[in-house]
C-alpha cells in the first residue's frame, strides 16, 4: 500500500471497516511511513474529541420549515444589503488634469485615425476619380500629414501613378494597333491618325500647363480625360 | 435625268405602249441607281415593345435613328463594297448589331449607312468608329451616341432621361428637353458643341472648354453661373438643379441656345 491508498482508506481503517488483508497492509504502511503515521495520529485524536461532545439542543418539530424561513430571511437581508452597498458605493472618478485628458483623447484619436487610414489604404484602392480630383488645394492638413509620414500618397504622387497606369495601357493598345493597322483601309487610317494627333496635342497642352502649375486641378482633370480618350481610341481601333 | 423623264411624257407622237415601256425603264433606272456601284441593301424588322433597346456598333458610315409610332423596329442599311456582314441578334428585349465583331479581322470593309426606326420610347445605344450619328424623336430612358474618331452627332427632338454624346473630331448638336433628375453628358475633342435646351429647366451645369475658353451661355448668362479656372469652365445651377448637364470640349467651343 502506498501513501495515497492509505490516506483514502484511513477513515475506514479507524472505523475497522477494512478487509482483514487490507487492514494488515495499512498497519504495515503505518509502521514504515512516518508522515502517514502522524496524519493517522492527528485524525484519531480529532475523532476521539468529537465523540466526547454531546448535543443537548432539541430539534424542532418541523426542521425543514424552520430552515426555509431562515434562508428566506437571510436572502432578503442580503439583497437589501447589496442594494445599500450599491447606493453607498462611492463613484470612481479618474482624476486627470485637462492637459492629461486632452493628450489621452488626442492620442486615441490619432491612433484610431492612423489605423483606419492604414486599413483603408491596404484594403481599398482609391477610385480613379479621386486621383483626378485630388489636388494640393483640396488636400486637408491631415492628408498632408499622412503623405509626409509616408502613410498615404500626396495628390501629385497619386496623379503620377495614375498617368503611369494609363500610359501602360496606352502602350499595350498601341502595340496591338501597330500590328493591325496595315489591314485597315486608307480612310480608317487617316481618321485614326487625325484623331490621335488631336488628342496628343491636348495631352501636350495640359502637360505643359501642369509643368508650370502642378496644382491646376482643371488641367489634371482634362489630362486624365484626354489620356482616357486616347486609350479608348486605341482600344476600339485595335479590335478591327 | 428629271428633264428627260418629263420629255418622254411630252412626246406627242409616241404610242401609249411606248410611253409605258419608257416609263418602266426610267423607273427601274431610278430604283437600281444606288446599286450601280455595287451597293447592297439590308432590311429587317423586329416586333418590339415600347421599352425595346437597340445597341448598334458600326465600323464606318452614317447611322440614322428615328422614333416612330409603331411597335416594331425596322433596320435598313445600304452596304458599300466590300460588303460588310450584318448579323443582328435579339436577347432579353435588346436588339444587338455589332459590325466590328461580325467583320473582325476582315481588313477592308465598306461603309454601312443604317436607317433604324424604333418606337418613340425606346432606349438607343449607337456607336461608330467613323461616321455621323443622327437621332430624332426619341423619348426613352437612355440615348447614347458615341463616335470613336470623327463624325458629327445630331440629336433632335429628344426627351430621354439620360443622354450621352461623345466624339473625337466633329460637331455635336442637341435639341431636346432636360428631364428632372436626368443626366446629360456631351464630350468632344475638337468641334462645336451646340445645345438647344429649355432654359426654364432645372439643372446643374458644368461646361469646360479649356483650350478655347469659348463658352457661349446665351440667356443662361443671366442665371446663377460663374466662371472658374481662368474662364476655362462655367459652373452653375438653374432652378432646383435636379438634372445634371456636363459638357466638355477639349479643343472646341460650347454654345447654349434657348429652346
* Mean pLDDT for all residues in chain A: 79
Best A185, A206, A230 member to test B by mutation, with max B CBs in 10 Å, is A185
Shared domain for B198 and B125, answered yes or no, is: no
Give the CA distances from residue B129 to residues A239, B116, B217, B223, in Å, rounded to whole numbers and listed in that order: 11, 18, 31, 38
Backbone angles phi, psi at A165, to 5 degrees: -65, -45
Q: Which of B43, B51, B91 minimizes the C-alpha distance to B67?
A: B51
Residue A230 has pLDDT above 90, yes or no: yes
Q: Which ranges constitute the DSSP H helices of A52-185?
A: 63-88, 98-123, 128-133, 141-148, 155-180
Decide: B236 and B256 in contact? Cβ < 8 Å. no
Shared domain for B112 and B201, answered yes or no, is: no
Shared domain for B165 and B176, answered yes or no, is: no
Contact A199 B189 (CB under 8 A): yes
Shared domain for B83 and B25, answered yes or no, is: no
Rg of the Cα atoms in chain A:
46
* CB–CB contacts below 8 A, A to B: 82
Give the end of a domain, one of B170, B186, B203: B170
Nearest by CB to residue B248, choosing from A225, A232, A237, is A225
Partners of residue B178 on adjacent β-strands: none
Choice among A203-212, A214-223, B18-27 with the minimum mean pLDDT: B18-27
Shared domain for B16 and B105, answered yes or no, is: no
- Max mean pLDDT range (A60-64, A148-152, B124-128): B124-128
A161-188 pLDDT per residue, tens:
888 999 999 999 999 999 988 888 888 8
Contact A229 B189 (CB under 8 A): yes
Predicted ipTM of the assembly: 0.81
Residue-level pLDDT at A78 = 72
A52-67 pLDDT per residue, tens:
555 555 555 566 777 7
Contact B250 A191 (CB under 8 A): no
Shared domain for B146 and B187, answered yes or no, is: no
Number of domains observed in the structure of chain B = 3
Give the end of a domain, one of B170, B196, B228: B170
Nearest by CB to residue A222, choosing from B104, B109, B210, is B210
Shared domain for B81 and B185, answered yes or no, is: no
Residue-level pLDDT at B4 = 47
Shared domain for B135 and B207, answered yes or no, is: no
Q: Residue A199: closest CA among chain B residues belongs to which residue?
A: B189
Cell numbers 454531546 correspond to A54
Shared domain for B129 and B206, answered yes or no, is: no
Shared domain for B53 and B157, answered yes or no, is: yes
Average pLDDT over residues A126-149: 63
Shared domain for B181 and B120, answered yes or no, is: no
Decide: A198 and B251 in contact? Cβ < 8 Å. yes
Residue-range definition of the domain harbouring residue B100? 38-170
Which residues on B lie below 8 Å from A190 (Cβ)? none
A154 SS3 class? coil
Percent of chain A at pLDDT above 70? 78
Amino acid at each position: 500500500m502506498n501513501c495515497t491508498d492509505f490516506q483514502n482508506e484511513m477513515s475506514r481503517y479507524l472505523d475497522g471497516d477494512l478487509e482483514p488483508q487490507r487492514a494488515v497492509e495499512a498497519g504495515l504502511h503505518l509502521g514504515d511511513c512516518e508522515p502517514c503515521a502522524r496524519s493517522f495520529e492527528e485524525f484519531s485524536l480529532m475523532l476521539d474529541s468529537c465523540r466526547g461532545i454531546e448535543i443537548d439542543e432539541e430539534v424542532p418539530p418541523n426542521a425543514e420549515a424552520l430552515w426555509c424561513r431562515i434562508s428566506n430571511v437571510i436572502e432578503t437581508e442580503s439583497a437589501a444589503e447589496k442594494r445599500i452597498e450599491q447606493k453607498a458605493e462611492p463613484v470612481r472618478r479618474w482624476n486627470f488634469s485637462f492637459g492629461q485628458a486632452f493628450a489621452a483623447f488626442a492620442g486615441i484619436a490619432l491612433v484610431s485615425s492612423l489605423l483606419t487610414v492604414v486599413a483603408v489604404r491596404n484594403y481599398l484602392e482609391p477610385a480613379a476619380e479621386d486621383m483626378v480630383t485630388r489636388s494640393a488645394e483640396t488636400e486637408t492638413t491631415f492628408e498632408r500629414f499622412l503623405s509626409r509620414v509616408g502613410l498615404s500618397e500626396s495628390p501629385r504622387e497619386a496623379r503620377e501613378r495614375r498617368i503611369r497606369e494609363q500610359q501602360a495601357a496606352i502602350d499595350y493598345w498601341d502595340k496591338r494597333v501597330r500590328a493591325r493597322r496595315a489591314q485597315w483601309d486608307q480612310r480608317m487610317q487617316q481618321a485614326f491618325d487625325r484623331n490621335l494627333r488631336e488628342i496628343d496635342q491636348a495631352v501636350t497642352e495640359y502637360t505643359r500647363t501642369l509643368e508650370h502649375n502642378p496644382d491646376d486641378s482643371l488641367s489634371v482633370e482634362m489630362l486624365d480625360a484626354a489620356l482616357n480618350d486616347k486609350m479608348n481610341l486605341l482600344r476600339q481601333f485595335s479590335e478591327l | 435625268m428629271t428633264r428627260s423623264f418629263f420629255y418622254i411624257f411630252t412626246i406627242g407622237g409616241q404610242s401609249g405602249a411606248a410611253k409605258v415601256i419608257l416609263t418602266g425603264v426610267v423607273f427601274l433606272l431610278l430604283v437600281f441607281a444606288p446599286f450601280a456601284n455595287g451597293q447592297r441593301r439590308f432590311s429587317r424588322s423586329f416586333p418590339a415593345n415600347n421599352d425595346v433597346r437597340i445597341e448598334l456598333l458600326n465600323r464606318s458610315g452614317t447611322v440614322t435613328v428615328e422614333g416612330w409610332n409603331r411597335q416594331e423596329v425596322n433596320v435598313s442599311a445600304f452596304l458599300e463594297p466590300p460588303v460588310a456582314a450584318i448579323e443582328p441578334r435579339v436577347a432579353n428585349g435588346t436588339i444587338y448589331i455589332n459590325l466590328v465583331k461580325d467583320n473582325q479581322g476582315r481588313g477592308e470593309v465598306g461603309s454601312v449607312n443604317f436607317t433604324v426606326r424604333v418606337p418613340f420610347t425606346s432606349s438607343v445605344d449607337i456607336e461608330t468608329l467613323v461616321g455621323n450619328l443622327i437621332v430624332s424623336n426619341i423619348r426613352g430612358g437612355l440615348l447614347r451616341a458615341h463616335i470613336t474618331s470623327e463624325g458629327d452627332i445630331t440629336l433632335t427632338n429628344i426627351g430621354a432621361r439620360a443622354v450621352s454624346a461623345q466624339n473625337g473630331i466633329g460637331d455635336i448638336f442637341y435639341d431636346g428637353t432636360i428631364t428632372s433628375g436626368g443626366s446629360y453628358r456631351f464630350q468632344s475633342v475638337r468641334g462645336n458643341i451646340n445645345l438647344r435646351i429649355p432654359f426654364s429647366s432645372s439643372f446643374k451645369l458644368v461646361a469646360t472648354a479649356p483650350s478655347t475658353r469659348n463658352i457661349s451661355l446665351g440667356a443662361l448668362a443671366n442665371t446663377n453661373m460663374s466662371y472658374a479656372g481662368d474662364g476655362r469652365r462655367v459652373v452653375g445651377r438653374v432652378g432646383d438643379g435636379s438634372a445634371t448637364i456636363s459638357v466638355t470640349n477639349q479643343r472646341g467651343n460650347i454654345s447654349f441656345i434657348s429652346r
